[in-house]
Structure 1
Amino acid sequence: MIDDNGRGWAGTRRWVQGALAPGERIVGVHELKGGWTSRMRRLDIAPEDHDRGDDGNNGNSDGGAGYALVLRSFVKPFYRRHAPGMLAREAGVLRLLEAGSIPAPRLRAVDAAGEHCEDPSLVMTHLPGSVRVREDGEVARRTVLLARQLAAVHAVTVPEHERPRAWQAWTSPEHVQVPAATARPLLWERAVQVIGRQAPAHRPCFLHRDFHPGNVLFTGDGGQLAVSGVVDWVETSWGPADLDVAHCSTALALLHGVPAGMAFAQAYEQAGGVLATGEDHLYWRLLDALAFAPDAEKVAVPWRELGRTDLSTPVLAGRLEDYLQALFERYA
């Protein structure tokens, strides 16, 4: 089979096959939307006697004994270079979470350096549910559930020798890209000055580090709405809870508007989470938000693939700037 880049995947297929139980085989491969750093594919797995003639992209394992796995492959040059560390970290975190209550995938196999696969890859179990980023009447309810789930992630107890790497900032004053056409240059200047200070003292905990609506799966609707999975653990870190809250808050502000982004911290605290106050909390919120400057186009691409075609570059740029203003009004 040839993928959409004109490259074969024979090596990856053999490697995945080696991780399956005797008599099982791949009967379908389906692209998953919404990813940015890596290529995600769902692999349908079924017993050898499953009524299927090949392993093409249109397969369907709807037999009683069938199940699905997810294949993550780093194909972009930048992420391929960093794949050994990133995939090894995700594999370690998935093993760590196996015994707990966090609804994370279970690891099946990892080829972090791409020794057997065409691209560095990891295979994990497929979780039920779907990503919900649509603009609808359940945004507020999903926000509450996201906050509860994040508080549970931060409560994970990790032995000192198993703790993930220390948190890393994703921007710095000298790297912030201020929008060229902004009508509020002083706002940006003030925000950049805030993150130029030393990071506030904090009590570190277990961080997902990339927790946002695109990495959380939901099932049900209305009163049955529930979180069914938390995925993408490659950036897991040890650091301040405020940083995870900041990242999800920024994403919500961009997806659903500033009020949604401003509501998340309160929902997190109501779920039992503890955050810094005042300018210390402001530091973490701005450190995350400024990493999206100037226009949040990086997240726009996968969100549009998930149906949010309304999230144009001007819309996201405007929401990001309005969000900065709202942060100063509340926390400065």
Structure 2
Amino acid sequence: MVGRELASVVGPLTLAWVNSQLEPGERVLRAEALHGGITAEVRRLTVGAPDGGTRHLVLRSFVDQVHSEEWLTREADALTLLTGTGVPAPGLVAVDPNAARCEHPSLLMTHLSGRTVLDDEGVEARLPLLARQLVAIHAVRPAERPRPYVTLTTADTVVTPEGADAAAWAAAIDLIREPAPPYEGRFLHRDFQPGNVLFEVPPADPAGARITGVVDWAASSWGPADLDVAHCATNLALLHGPAWGLRFAEAYEEAGGVLAAAAGERLYWLVRDGLACSEEVRAVARPWREAGRTELTARAVETRLDAYVTALMDTLG
């Protein structure tokens, strides 16, 4: 990729900023779009060294996002915090949260091996890996707490899917009208789900998968472990079927995680996250289809969400 072509892909200002962060004699050779993100453009950059060697970095840029400065600052803080903790997060290289030097607010970080795995095959083996990784994240004890968690969904903003179980959804909506249960705070990823976890999977042995990285820390915050568990459970339910969402909380506890003691409190968080997804089904489904799950249309995801919320209310309500 020649310089002019590369600058047209990355942006000339951003490319100059990235090059200024490299070792002497290094330069960016190529940029490859990474799919799966909803809020940001993510590119893998191939960096060439004078001796002919190469390495990879990842550039994350927010385009037309109102809160991009806040998100990138929070992500940079999280990556700094996680250094040395054992949590496999990228290393921070540089951040330009207010686009002082780039076309758009941007963050440059190290590249982690592995890939996201969204296929149904091997999900049974990946489930306990996800649970153990989330327990490890919640074990991080920051010297300075990040901002408190945020949930934007309210009983009045829930979008009930067409043809949904009206009674189950009405009961679920009534549940989140109640005050949030008390909780013991933990460091949260806040968007922990299969699309933000990298795996290495042996071609001949899907059950031999291992986690190599956790990405997208822009929403990291402080709050109940139940909320992170609920978010991953919702995504598992929509990707692989409601039964997998229902199993995740159990897998988290088997991995040593601690959730709310009362069933009603657990249900509150699980339902809250499921209902939150009702407002952004199209945004959630699009990157999954781009990643190869073409059968996960917005309507298919809505149907699974209805089945999951109904199952929650039937099982725990």
For residues 277-296 of structure 1, the aligned pairs below 5 Å read: 277-293=262-278, 296=281
3-state SS of 1:130 partner: coil
Q: Percent identity?
A: 46
Q: Give the corresponding residue for 1:62.
A: none
Please give the secondary structure, in 1, of the residue aligned with 2:156.
Answer: helix
Whether 1:178 and 2:166 are equivalent positions in the alignment is no
SS of 1:246's partner is: helix
The TM-score normalised by the length of structure 2 is 0.94
Aligned twin of 2:210? 226
Segment of structure 1 superposing worse, 225-234 or 308-317: 308-317
Aligned to 1:55: none
Gaps of 5+ in 1: 51-64
Query: How far did 1:8 drift?
Result: 6.7
> 2:9 and 2:289 mapped to 1: Cα distance?
26
1:109-188 matches, cutoff 5 A: 109-136=94-121, 138-159=122-143, 162-179=144-161, 181-188=162-169
- Matched residues, number: 310
TM-score (norm 1): 0.90
Contact 2:199–2:209 (CA under 8 A) maintained in structure 1: yes
SS at match of 1:175: coil
Give the whole-Å Cα distance in 1 for the aligned partners of 2:235 and 2:97: 29
Match of 1:324 among 286, 298, 309: 309
Unmatched 5+ residue regions in structure 2? none
Instruction: Tell me the distance in 2 between the aligned counterparts of 1:49 and 1:278.
Output: 60
Partner of 1:27: 29
Partners of 2:281 and 2:222 in 1: CA distance: 25
Letter in 2 for 1:119: H
- The residue identity in structure 2 corresponding to 1:194 is L
CA RMSD of aligned residues (A): 1.6
Post-superposition offset of 1:313: 2.0
Please state how far the C-alpha of 1:328 moved relative to its aligned partner.
Answer: 1.2
Instruction: Give how far 1:170 is off.
Output: 3.1
Equivalent residue number for residue 61 of structure 1: none
For the 8 Å contact 2:9–2:31, the answer to whether it is kept is: no
Deviation at 1:49, TM superposition (A): 5.3
Aligned to 2:55: 67
C-alpha deviation, 1:48, in angstroms: 3.4
| Equivalent pair of 1:294/1:317 in contact (CA under 8 Å) | no
Distance 1:94 1:126, change over 3 A: same
CA distance in 1: counterparts of 2:301 and 2:38, whole angstroms: 17
